[in-house]
C-alpha cells in the first residue's frame, strides 16, 4: 500500500514538474525589413522573455523595442523614433497565444514537431490576431521553439517616411528562436 | 560662360558633399564598446533598486547610455548562437541581462557563474515583465570591462 502511494506520489510529482511553465530570458527575435534599395533595416533582440506551458500549449513573448540591436546607429535611432516604432511610448512588443496542434507534440519524446501557433501580437500599441507556422524540437530536457513569419507594418500603424520611400519593407520577416 | 561654369562647379561640389554624407551615414557602424568611455559606473544590486524605485526616472537617466555594471554573475544563458550574462537580485527575482557585441562573445562564454565581473554596455531600458512578474533591465552591445 505504501509502495503504491509512493509510486503514485512520484508520478504526480514528475507530472507536475513537467507541466510547469518553462521560461527563458534569452529568446532571440530578429527581423529583416531590408529592400533592394536599403540593406540596413535589420536587427536582433537577444534578450526576449518567453514562456511555454507544455500542458496547455500556451506561449508568450515580451520583447523590449529598445533591445533590438542594429549595426548602424542612424537606423537604430530612426527605428526608435516616433516615425517608426516610437519606443518611448510603446516600449515592448508582446505575443500571447497557444499551439493549435498541441496533441501532435510529444514533449516527452525527442523529435522535431511542426506546429501552428495562433494568438495576439501587440506592437506599436496595436493588437492583431496572428497565426504562424513553426517547429518545436525536443531534445532531452531542452525544448527549442522556432518560427518565421511576416507582418504588415500598416496593420500596426507603423507608417514612416522610410517605409513610403521603399527603404523599409512593408512586410518584414520576423524570426523567433526560444530555447527552454 | 564663366558664371555658368562657376554654378556648375558649385553644384558638383554640393552633390559630391551630399553623396559623401549619405555614404558616411550608410556605412556608419557602432564603435567597439571596449573603446567607449562609460557615462556611469554602477553596482548591479543598487542599479536594480534604482529601477525598482522609479522605473521612468531610471529609464530617462540610463536608456541608450554606456554603463559599467559591477556584480556577480547569476547565470550564463546560451541564446541561439550567442550567450547572455545575467545578474539577479535573489531577494525578488529582478535582473539585469547583458547581450554581447559579436567581437566580445568569446569573453562572455568564458565567464563563470558566481564570478564577480565588470560589464560595459549600452543600457536599453528597464521594464516590468508580466510573464515573469518582475523587473528587468536589458543591455546590448556589451563587452567585459577590462
The stretches in chain A having pLDDT less than 50 are 11-17
Distance of residue B146 Cα from the nearest chain A Cα, in angstroms: 23
Are A27 and B79 a contacting pair at CB < 8 A?
Answer: yes
* Cα nearest neighbour of B82 on chain A: A46
Are A66 and B136 a contacting pair at CB < 8 A?
Answer: no
* Cα nearest neighbour of B141 on chain A: A69
Helical ranges in A86-179 per DSSP H: 161-164
What pTM was estimated for this model as a whole?
A: 0.86
For chains A and B, what is the number of CB pairs under 8 angstroms? 85
pLDDT at A16: 47
In terms of Cα–Cα distance, which of B127, B142, B131 is closest to A88?
B127
More confident: B81 or B52:
B52
pLDDT confidence band for B124 (50 / 70 / 90): very high
ipTM of the complex, rounded to two decimals: 0.85
Distance of residue A163 Cα from the nearest chain B Cα, in angstroms: 17
Interface list for B 20-59 with A (CB within 8 A): 25-26, 28-30
pLDDT at A9: 55
- Mean of the pLDDT values across residues B21-36? 84
pLDDT confidence band for B22 (50 / 70 / 90): confident
In terms of Cα–Cα distance, which of B18, A87, B28, B84 is closest to B10?
B18
Distance CA A37, CA A32 (A): 14
Going by DSSP bridges, is the β-strand pair A126-139/A142-150 parallel, antiparallel, or unpaired? antiparallel
Are A25 and B136 a contacting pair at CB < 8 A?
Answer: yes
| Residue from the list A25, A66, A74 with its beta carbon closest to the beta carbon of B124 | A66
> Around Cβ A130, how many Cβ atoms within 10 Å?
18
* Contacting residues of B for A62, CB less than 8 Å apart: 127, 129-131
- Per-residue CA distances from A121 to A69, A132, A155, B139 (Å): 21, 11, 11, 24
CA dihedral over B64, B68, B70, B74, signed as positive or negative: positive
Amino acid at each position: 500500500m505504501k509502495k503504491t502511494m509512493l509510486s503514485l506520489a512520484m508520478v504526480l510529482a514528475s507530472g507536475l514538474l513537467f507541466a510547469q511553465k518553462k521560461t527563458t530570458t534569452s529568446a532571440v527575435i530578429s527581423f529583416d525589413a531590408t529592400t533592394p534599395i536599403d540593406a540596413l533595416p535589420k536587427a536582433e533582440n537577444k534578450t526576449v522573455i518567453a514562456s511555454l506551458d507544455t500542458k496547455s500549449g500556451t506561449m508568450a513573448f515580451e520583447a523590449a523595442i529598445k533591445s533590438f540591436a542594429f549595426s548602424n546607429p542612424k537606423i537604430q535611432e530612426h527605428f526608435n523614433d516616433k516615425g517608426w516604432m516610437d519606443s518611448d511610448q510603446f516600449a515592448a512588443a508582446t505575443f500571447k497565444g497557444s499551439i493549435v496542434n498541441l496533441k501532435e507534440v510529444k514533449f516527452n519524446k525527442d523529435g522535431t514537431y511542426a506546429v501552428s501557433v495562433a494568438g495576439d501580437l501587440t506592437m506599436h500599441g496595436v493588437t492583431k490576431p496572428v497565426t504562424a507556422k513553426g517547429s518545436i524540437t525536443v531534445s532531452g530536457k531542452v525544448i527549442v521553439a522556432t518560427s518565421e513569419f511576416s507582418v504588415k507594418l500598416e496593420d500596426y500603424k507603423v507608417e514612416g517616411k522610410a517605409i513610403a520611400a521603399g527603404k523599409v519593407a512593408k512586410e518584414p520577416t520576423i524570426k523567433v528562436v526560444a530555447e527552454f | 560662360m564663366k558664371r555658368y561654369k562657376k554654378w556648375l562647379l558649385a553644384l558638383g561640389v554640393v552633390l559630391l558633399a551630399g553623396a559623401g554624407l549619405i555614404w558616411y551615414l550608410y556605412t556608419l557602424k557602432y564603435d567597439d564598446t571596449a573603446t567607449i568611455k562609460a557615462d556611469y559606473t554602477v553596482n548591479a544590486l543598487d542599479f536594480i533598486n534604482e529601477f525598482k524605485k522609479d522605473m521612468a526616472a531610471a529609464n530617462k537617466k540610463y536608456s541608450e547610455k554606456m554603463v559599467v555594471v559591477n556584480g556577480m554573475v547569476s547565470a550564463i544563458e546560451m541564446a541561439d548562437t550567442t550567450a547572455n550574462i545575467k545578474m539577479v537580485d535573489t531577494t525578488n527575482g529582478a535582473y539585469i541581462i547583458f547581450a554581447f557585441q559579436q567581437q566580445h562573445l568569446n569573453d562572455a562564454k568564458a565567464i563563470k557563474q558566481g564570478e564577480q565581473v565588470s560589464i560595459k554596455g549600452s543600457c536599453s531600458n528597464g521594464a516590468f515583465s508580466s510573464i515573469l512578474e518582475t523587473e528587468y533591465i536589458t543591455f546590448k552591445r556589451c563587452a567585459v570591462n577590462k
